[in-house]
Amino acid sequence: MHSFLLPTPEVADALAGNRPVVALESTVISHGMPYPRNLETARALEAEVRAAGAVPATIAVLDGRIRIGLDDGALDRLATGGHAVRKLSRRDLPIALAAGALGATTVAATMIAARLAGIAVFATGGIGGVHRGAETSFDVSADLEELARTSVCVVCAGAKSILDLPKTLEVLETRGVPVLGFGTAEFPAFYSRRSGLPVDHRCDNVTEVADILRTKWRLGLEGGVLLANPIPAGDELDADAMETAVAQALADAEAKGIKGKDITPHLLAALERLTGGRSLTANIALIRNNARVAAGVATALSNS
Ligand code: PSU
Ligand code: MN
């Protein structure tokens, strides 16, 4: 294990015994949801992973180490820290570690940490992608670069329509990232099951997903795989109503001049306000569903 990594004994044991482990990110806890729902959700995700027979490893940066698995105290600091918690992507990791800062890891940084620790499967809500208007702003999430280079399977519910979904899929294609639909041939749009955009391949069970992962990596094709798992039908939000809310959230961010790493957290908070909290409830349902599926994939992968 890399000297910068600090796994909990439970995670270290599971990895040493080739038992299934699922990585979980912390930016969604610190910057993606309000307290106390964020803390409840973080705990619920760990419980989902355990109930499905795998070991959860929530990842964050504390006191100069990348923690692989968090105790209650650490989870609490991340959930209550607000703006004192840095949002860490690839570029930020060395700075935060060297400074001994408290930081939450994005999809990109969580992938890096998972890979270093030897964890192949990671569950999140939605990935970052190509922002609307990227042709002038150049705002393309580092998550896409990381998916291109780091060999981890990321289970998500697609990407939010705060992003430009067709452009996001174009970049994933260019960068060689397989996009698999779990029980669907369509890329899901986070709050809704459908986007009208096709995935590369539909998988109907976790064994098939594990086969594709193994094949990719045995071929020496380094890089991630995106497993897109639609929000459960009963938790879906109305696509038109969400589009209206997204347009308002984007206009608000533009008016306030929000840019760079602050834009995604700002839009998430605005959507929650604009939907009277319904976006948060949907977010929690889909991320729990992703944790369950990720545990299944990790189990299928460790059985081979
Ligand atoms: N999308 C969501 N919820 C989130 C994020 C994205 O629906 O919480 C977080 C993830 O941690 C993701 C990060 O990796 O935002 C992307 O930020 P940016 O767009 O600045 O790359
Ligand atoms: Mn960005």
Q: Which domains does the chain have, with CATH numbers?
A: 5-302 (3.40.1790.10)
Pick the catalytic residue from 25, 46, 236, 272: 25
Residue 153: pLDDT over 80: yes
- CB 258 less than 6 A from any atom of ligand 1: no
Residue 160 among the catalytic residues: yes
Percentage of the chain beyond pLDDT 70 is 100
Residue 161: pLDDT over 90: no
pLDDT of 235-291, one tens digit each?
A: 999 999 999 999 999 999 999 999 999 999 999 999 999 999 999 999 999 999 999
Give the pLDDT band of residue 304 (cuts 50, 70, 90): confident
Atom of ligand 1 nearest to the CA of 159: 7
Whole-number pLDDT of residue 225: 99
pLDDT of 118-150, one tens digit each?
A: 999 999 999 999 999 999 999 999 999 999 999
- CB 261 less than 6 A from any atom of ligand 1: yes
Question: How many Å lie between the centroid of ligand 1 and the Cα of residue 262?
Answer: 10
Pick the catalytic residue from 87, 160, 216, 261: 160
Mutate to test the pocket of ligand 1, among 27, 88, 131 (most ligand atoms within 8 A of CB): 27
* CA dist 300 → 67, 158, 168 (Å): 25, 22, 28
Whole-number pLDDT of residue 242: 93
Burial code of 181-203, b = ≥16 C-beta within 10 A, e = fewer? bbebebbbbbbbbebeeebbeeb
Question: How many Å lie between the centroid of ligand 2 and the Cα of residue 139?
Answer: 5
Rounded CA separation 170/229 (Å):
19
Q: Kindly identify the ligand whose nearest atom is closest to the C-alpha of 146.
A: 1
Question: What does the mean pLDDT of the chain come to?
Answer: 97
Tokens representing 189 are 């749009």
- CB 25 less than 6 A from any atom of ligand 1: yes
Q: What is the mean pLDDT of residues 176-205?
A: 97
Question: How many Å lie between the centroid of ligand 1 and the Cα of residue 264?
Answer: 6
Whole-number pLDDT of residue 234: 96
Regarding pTM above 0.85, the answer is yes
- CB 87 less than 6 A from any atom of ligand 1: no
Residue 2: pLDDT over 90: no
Residues 85-92: contacts with CB within 8 Å, 24+ apart? 85/30, 85/31, 86/61, 87/27, 87/30, 87/31, 87/261, 87/265, 88/27, 88/61, 89/142, 89/143, 89/261, 90/142, 90/145, 90/146, 91/142
